[in-house]
Structure 1
Amino acid sequence: MKLKKVGMFVLILFAMAALIVGCGGNKVDNQSADNNDNKQTPPTKSVTLKIANYYAADHPVNQALRDKFKAVVEEKTGGKIKVEIYPNNQLGNEQEFIEGVQLGNIEMAMTGNMWENTVPQFRIMQLPYMFVNYEHANAVLNGPIGERIYKYLEPLNVKVLASFPNGFRVVSNNKRPITSIEDCKGIKLRVFQGETIIKEMKALGFDTVVMNFSEIFTALQQGVVDGQDNPLATSYYAGFYDVQKYVAITNHMYSPGYIVINMDVWNSLTEDEKALVEEAAQNTAEAILNAVRDQEEEIIKDITEKGVEVTYPDLKPFIERVKPIVDEYIEKYPETEDIIKDIQKLGEQYL
């Protein structure tokens, strides 16, 4: 009897052990399943890229952004990256959205060269008569020389994806036609807040007035200033030539634009997404280049037909007058001398 009891007890112990092992086995299997789930690629968050700029909605910049950037990026990411375009200073003036990109409040922007106010190496691009033509400027700013310059912007938490042309700057005014350098004297000219442009236009004889882009039209219309300088396309789409009588093709400064992105936003993208965004930016810049360059003759024809007088002064006196500005700049920033020499040497191929 006692043996029977012992046997029963042993059987019970075996049964309990088997039950424990079975439960333990299920627990391990469940943990294994959980671990396998964890190893699966988690769904990535969608990203919205707000792009700020000061151009009119129908300007070639915003046309290219819609067709070459927004459409491509959204389609190729299946909508995972969404693009919102804010033209016409909708997210503030240029200085405000530049700061927004630095802080990350705005993911991207199409900026002008106001970076030169905090990064003096960016003044290289807008030194007087630095570029021979559009092809020369494009080769510099979307090539190895440009990359050397853009590294100076990275400490501000900003990356340059590509450069596009606003165009070569020309002067418009309501006071008199400019047929020679002497005609510049006494014309009250709006300029943007940039050390180089202020020095250059003063050297040419203009009385300069610093003013935000968004204020130009009203200031011209009301006679607060006599004129302004901007690339042909920028002024045309902003409507400035509707309130100006004279345009002088001075081409005194190349006006670059940059497609920039906040560095933290950039680093949050996958490698594939970075490659896609950068390629789309470069294609956008190329489309803008083609549009700006091709439209200039059409713009001149159109404004001439509307009564604006277009003049072509001899540029040699202009070039000579502003040459000391380049020498002064190199003396102040000697580390830029090699870059400037490389730009000038490359320019010989485009003469």
Structure 2
Amino acid sequence: MFVLSSFVGATTLKIANYYAVDHPVNQALQNKFKPMVEEGTNGKIKVYIFPNNQLGAEQEFIEGVQLGTIEMAMTGNMWENTVPQFRIMQLPYMFVNYEHADAVLNGPIGEKIYKYLEPLNVKVLASFPNGFRVISNNKRPIRTIEDCKDIKLRVFQGETIIKEMKALGFSTVVLPFSEIFTALQQGVVDGQDNPLATAYYAGWYDVQKYVSITNHMYSPGYIVINKGVWDRLSEDEKEIIKKAAQVTSEAILNAVRSQEDQIIKEITNKGVVVTYPDLKPFMERVKPIVNEFIEEYPETKDIIDDIQELSQKYLQ
């Protein structure tokens, strides 16, 4: 069942997300998606943006999109908990850089993966980067893989990330996104792993001493819409929304990629120690996770092979 909200003759699209108001995701929604859709439809569709968990935590607004009580959302990869094929995108060291990830997730390979969401009544309009995940903590700087041992690390409720962090030597604690700052501040956990921009805009580096550029996992985001809502739109409206989603995705990609050096500079100036460990031992330690995944889901082998083959085009 779905609800396509209408007020005063206009169709309403509520977009839920967990990002801070000034994060590139919400800036792109406000400056790109909203005006493109509202102006492109001559005001027939109104867009309302709900940042910072205003419509609930990620699991809650994911369920809202499935039901249609929330028309759209900017989600992370929590879909992997119900759609195992979505774990492909967050397998360790699956993407070599942003260009490679974008070519996969906004191209034909991504479309093959997104079909697995259709039974959940959800359509993916575009993918955007949260960024490559890095590790921050208060226990010690991570300069080698041995430094990971026994650091109590917050992780999200995802099988892949939990396996990966345990393989690297961390002690993992599952907590929702909304509880991370308090958990870091009060020492419930020593650290967390997230893209630079996500942690920076959430203010977590104000309560963290060390950041390690591990780039161990690409963190994708998705612009999703309830399938019932989508099917009710006219072809012209679908085209306008799809184009706006693509432009929004590009804007987020450019912002996230360009801001990383500046973020590292700013947090370093504030006293955060940033380290760059040799990643080869990290890659070797987590390689079995990819092989185990393919054994468990053999239908994904061709997709993973395509991703890895495409990576050659983007290796420097």
Distance 1:345 1:321 in 2: 22
Which SS does the other structure have where 2:161 is aligned? helix
Distance 1:110 1:45 in 2: 26
Letter in 2 for 1:308: V
After TM superposition, what 4+ stretches of structure 1 lie above 2 angstroms from structure 2?
none
Gaps of 5+ in 1: 1-43
Match in the other structure for 2:300: 336
Distance 2:307 2:113 in 1: 12
Which SS does the other structure have where 1:349 is aligned? coil
Residues 239-250 of structure 1 aligned to structure 2 (within 5 Å): 239-250=203-214
Q: Does 1:161 align with 2:125?
A: yes
Distance 1:241 1:232 in 2: 9
Residues 52-67 of structure 1 aligned to structure 2 (within 5 Å): 52-67=16-31
Match in the other structure for 2:5: none
Report percent identity of matched pairs. 82
Residues 1-351 of structure 1 aligned to structure 2 (within 5 Å): 45-351=9-315
Distance 1:269 1:77 in 2: 11
TM-score, length of structure 2 as denominator length: 0.97
Q: Once the 2 structures are TM-superposed, how far is the Cα of residue 319 of structure 1 from its aligned partner?
A: 0.1
Distance 2:9 2:310 in 1: 44
Letter in 1 for 2:195: P
Letter in 2 for 1:315: L
Distance 1:261 1:233 in 2: 24
TM-score, length of structure 1 as denominator length: 0.87
Distance 1:336 1:78 in 2: 43
Distance 1:46 1:299 in 2: 40
Q: Once the 2 structures are TM-superposed, how far is the Cα of residue 77 of structure 1 from its aligned partner?
A: 1.2
Which SS does the other structure have where 1:350 is aligned? coil
Q: Which protein has the larger Cα radius of gyration, Structure 1 or Structure 2?
A: 1
Q: 1:36-59: CA deviations, max 9, x gaps?
A: xxxxxxxx9521000000000000
Gaps of 5+ in 2: 1-7
Q: Once the 2 structures are TM-superposed, how far is the Cα of residue 200 of structure 1 from its aligned partner?
A: 0.2
Distance 1:342 1:269 in 2: 33
Letter in 2 for 1:58: D
Which SS does the other structure have where 1:257 is aligned? strand
Range that drifts further, 332-341 or 44-53: 44-53
Distance 1:197 1:348 in 2: 25
Q: Once the 2 structures are TM-superposed, how far is the Cα of residue 221 of structure 1 from its aligned partner?
A: 0.2
Cα root mean square deviation, aligned: 0.8
Distance 2:125 2:113 in 1: 13
Q: 1:154-194: CA deviations, max 9, x gaps?
A: 11000000000000000000000000000000100000000
Distance 2:10 2:119 in 1: 27
Higher fraction of helix: 1
Letter in 1 for 2:275: T
